[in-house]
Structure 1
Amino acid sequence: MPDPMHFDGMADLYDRARPPYPDALWSRLGALGVLGSGTRVLELGAGSGLATAPMVAAGAAVTAVEPGPALADLLRRRVPEATVVEGTAESVPLDDAAFDLAVVATAVHWLDLDVVLPRLHRALVPGGHLAVWRHVFGDPTAPLTPFRERVAQIVRERGDVPPRPGPAELDTTGWVGRLTAGGWFAVRHVDELRWSVDLGADQVRDLFTTFSEWSDAEAEAAGRAVRDLGGRVTEHYLTPLLVLRRAGTPTR
């Protein structure tokens, strides 16, 4: 399995290349009443602040936990209003009932949930929420584009790769089951937000370089594919959103 610290070695590239989360995500969290002015947020695996900055802009008080020193330093500079804690979700000190909302944005597959879920249950107030989301780079319901055909060919040439532990990125039902295991949290809302973005060849190369399962040579091949196809492509992405409510009494 790739090392999650892979991203810390490319902090500036990661911050530049990863697309922002769609506006519909923030609207949905606001409409659900879980994010707004004064919300005390605990964000795990905050990276360079792609989710931190919009939450601060919404008026939330964000404590952002990030294990990578380079990313944590970038986050402090990028979002000085946030409280940045360098450490892991499994080990950083957390006060009881100190937060209204816990957020895990494109990081849940790196966490030891058997450790993290009970910690979050203690750190959240009664009635608090856990919001989990991630990018899926390539919406399987969108029409297959010539660029996506080239991407599929690159992946086929890679051969067999051991899957990551846990549910697959498109297995939303599996992630619901994993996040509710033990009875610490119960599902409140499940959504899949679809959106698109236009990218140039260099943007695609940089973005694919940040994917932990992609080699530099494969990312270069993806960039060449964009140049072959006219220099820009429209990518269709998917952001599954899971919002869970803190359970009153866990089953264990």
Structure 2
Amino acid sequence: MVDPRHFDRQAANYEQARPPYPEALWQRLEDLGLLTAGRRAVDLGAGTGQATGRLLDAGLTVTAVEPGARLAALLKMNHPAASVIVSRAEDADLPERTFDIAVAATSIHWMNLDELLPNVHASLRPEGKLLVWRNVFGDPNHPTPFRTTVRRIVAARAGPPRPGPDAEDAGATWRELVRTGLFSVDEVDEFRWEVTLDAQQVQNLFSTFSDWNDQEVLEAAAAVVEAGGSVVEHYRSWLIVLSRT
């Protein structure tokens, strides 16, 4: 199993290298009336606060839960208005019937849902929503020479793939989220966007991926140099909105 503590060891690089979530996703949350000032949110697996910061900017009161001590320290430094709990989301001592929304942004695949979902369910108000989203790096609808190299690197690995449902598959994710009967799906949205990265940015970003080793990261960066020094990466982001049942 890939070690989730990898992210804490990469805390400073993680903060700088990870791209933000697309504006279209935030606009969708606003259109759904979920970013209303004064509401209370809990951000699960908050990292350095990419989602926490936007929630605070929208006027929400935010409790951020992050198990990595280094990540949590950066989170608190970046967003002092947030209440930070250093804990696994499954173990966090959350007040009951308190939060209007619970957010898991590119983090739910690291969590034990049988432990997590009862905790989140109890912490949400009766009309509360669970919001799960993630960035997916690479869009198969936009093949590029760089992405061909990335697929070749991954295919050459000797070890088995990560166990369990495909963490990048929105359908596989929402089916797991409703399995306990504690939540039901309201809607699933997908957003497509792009970003231009140079070789150093690719090296920094790919080094934060928990299943990439140093040699693989260098191969990816070299592919950018071979492509002329920069690549246009086509990304997808999906959003799952669930109601507490």
Q: Shorter chain as normaliser: what TM range?
A: over 0.9
Equivalent-residue separation in structure 2 for 1:213 and 1:200 (angstroms): 21
Q: Tell me the residue number matched to 1:131.
A: 131
In the TM superposition, 1:122-161 aligns within 5 A as 122-142=122-142, 144-159=143-158, 161=159
Tell me the residue number matched to 1:22: 22
In structure 1, runs of 5+ residues without a counterpart are 248-252
Counterpart of 1:215?
213
Deviation at residue 170 of structure 1 after TM alignment: 3.6
The residue correspondences of 1:72-111 to structure 2 (distance < 5 A) are 72-111=72-111
The normalised TM-score by structure 2 is 0.97
Question: Unaligned regions of 5+ residues in structure 2, if any?
Answer: none
Q: CA deviation at 1:39?
A: 1.7
- Contact 1:136–1:169 (8 Å) recurs in 2: no
Q: SS state of the match for residue 135, structure 2? A: coil
1:205 equivalent in structure 2:
203
Cα distance in 1 between the residues matched to 2:32 and 2:164 = 28
- In 2, distance between residues paired with 1:94 and 1:130? 15
* Secondary structure in 1 matching 2:38: coil
Deviation, structure 1 residue 176: 1.2
- Residue 250 of structure 1: aligned partner: none
1:5 aligned residue? 5
Of 223, 237, 242 in structure 1, the residue corresponding to residue 240 of structure 2 is 242
Alignment RMSD, CA only? 1.0
1:58 alignment partner in structure 2: 58
Distance 2:106 2:167 in 1: 10
Secondary structure of 2:36's aligned partner: coil
Q: Describe the superposition over 1:13-69 as per-residue Cα deviations: whole angstroms up to 9, x where unpaired.
A: 000100000001111111111222112001110001111111111111110000000
Q: Is the 8 A contact 1:35 1:101 kept in 2?
A: no
Equivalent-residue separation in structure 1 for 2:93 and 2:100 (angstroms): 17
Find the residue that maps to 2:102 and give its secondary structure: strand
Partners of 1:109 and 1:166 within 8 A in 2? no
In structure 2, C-alpha distance between the alignment counterparts of 1:35 and 1:166, rounded to whole Å: 32
CA-CA distance at 1:192 after TM superposition: 1.1
Whole-Å Cα distance in 2 between the matches of residues 213 and 22 of structure 1?
A: 24
User: In 2, Cα distance between the equivalents of 1:95 and 1:76?
Assistant: 20
Cα distance per residue 1:178-225 (max 9 Å; x no partner): 001121001011011111000010000110000011001111111111
Aligned residues: 245
Q: Secondary structure at the match of 1:208?
A: helix
Counterpart of 2:5 in 1: which secondary structure? helix
Q: What one-letter code is carried by the residue in structure 2 that aligns with 1:98? A: T
**TM (normalized to structure 1)?**
0.95
Distance, in Å, in 1 between the alignment partners of 2:210 and 2:168 is 17
